[in-house]
Amino acid sequence: MNDRYLSVDQVAELLGTTTRFPRRLIEERRIRYVKVGRHVRIPESAVREYIASRTVEPVGLRQTGLRTVA
């Protein structure tokens, strides 16, 4: 249980968004969260998982047969 629990404000700052975005993720249950009384906390690992699952890797460039016009 070495996971750090972040507030909605901290997650928003980490993602570079407004607080509305992490709140929407919670409401739509697109990210794991923990209710501590009336407080909502998001495990840091859940934020890492969310980012990793939405990371788009670049595609390799294909060799194209470029022809020169003489």
pTM recorded for the entire structure: 0.77
b/e map 26-63, b = 16+ CB within 10 Å: beeeebebeeeeeebbbbbebbeebeeeeeeeeeeeee
Q: How confident is the model at residue 18 (pLDDT cuts 50, 70, 90)?
A: very high
Q: How confident is the model at residue 65 (pLDDT cuts 50, 70, 90)?
A: low
Average pLDDT over residues 26-38: 97
Q: How confident is the model at residue 64 (pLDDT cuts 50, 70, 90)?
A: low
Q: Assess whether pLDDT exceeds 80 at residue 67.
A: no
